Structure 1
Amino acid sequence: MKKYLFFILLFCFISASAQKDSTAAQRAKPIVSAESAPFKAAEFPGGHRAFVTEILKNFRTSPLVKAEIMSARAVANFIVDAEGNMTNIRIESYEHTMVRDEFLRALKMVKTKWIPAEQDGKKVRSVMRQPLVFNLQ
């Protein structure tokens, strides 16, 4: 139980600090130029903590433990379209293939619509980035 609590707290802490400036992914082509960047970023209903909770509900650690993967990192990016849907979900970096696959599966299971980014009062697409860091010991 302590292992899972540690995993959740670590994931929330890393995710919350990384999400602050994560409206653009490093390798993704910019959807909106820097001059016309959205002044209101996309938001998950209930905030970032609710988004992390939704991911954690879907993330299975037991296959990773069986494969003796006790710690790993991965970073995902995705687009929140003008309707609030998560699209084009990709894992941009990862340490283990199983972690990549599980993180991608957990993200794709999130069906809650986002509140889209806004620019000049108009809803626009935006790129979001979500890291995953865990350590099960």
Structure 2
Amino acid sequence: MMKKTLLLILLLGLQLAFSQTLQKEESQIQTDSASGIQKLSDTMVSAEFPGGLSALRNHIGNEFKTSNLKGTGIFKSVTKFLILPDGSMSAISTTGNSPAMNQEMTRVMRTIKKKWKPATRNGQPVESTFRMPMTISMD
């Protein structure tokens, strides 16, 4: 029972540590000290996958072929990509400790056809970068 509890805590902690979170910065009035002019600061909202991060992880889990990974051990990668103002993905690249895992993660991310809800700045869609870390343990 203790091992199961520790494993659950570890998994939840890893999910929180490696998850991309939505960020929303509140608008604030700032005063320029030199001119005394007040202006409204930018409001930025991060991009969001349809269904949230859990839906993205489910897609990756369903598409990922572990048979493409050779050997045992812990395989780690980080996939980076752009989310364009129209919600499409571009410039997908993966780095990590296994070329096979990097290639598979890039392949899986390219299978995503759903459009994202793009990031916005002051209510206008903008290009943003998204990072998706992944760790797989093969015994």
Root-mean-square deviation over aligned CA pairs: 2.6
Partner of 2:130, secondary structure, is strand
1:75 partner amino acid: V
1:88 partner amino acid: A
State the structure with more CA Rg: 2
Instruction: Measure, in 2, the Cα distance between the counterparts of 1:37 and 1:105.
Output: 35
Unpaired segments ≥5 residues, structure 1:
1-5, 24-35
Write 1 or 2 for the structure with the bigger share of helix.
1
- How far residue 62 of structure 1 moved from its aligned partner, in angstroms, is 1.3
Write 1 or 2 for the structure with the bigger share of strand.
2
Q: Normalising to structure 2: TM-score of the pair?
A: 0.71
Q: Normalising to structure 1: TM-score of the pair?
A: 0.72
1:17 partner amino acid: A
Unpaired segments ≥5 residues, structure 2:
1-6, 24-40
The higher relative CO (CA closer than 8 Å, separation ≥ 6) is in: 1
- Aligned residue for 1:61? 66
Percent identity for Structure 1 against Structure 2: 28
The answer (yes or no) to whether the contact 1:85–1:113 under 8 Å persists in 2 is yes
5 Å matches for 1:1-137?
A: 14=14, 16-20=16-20, 39-64=44-69, 67-91=70-94, 93-137=95-139
Residues 19-62 of structure 1, C-alpha deviations (whole Å, 9 max, x = no match):
34598xxxxxxxxxxxx876111000110010111111111001
1:77 partner amino acid: K
The answer (yes or no) to whether the contact 1:14–1:133 under 8 Å persists in 2 is no
Instruction: Measure, in 1, the Cα distance between the counterparts of 2:51 and 2:86.
Output: 17
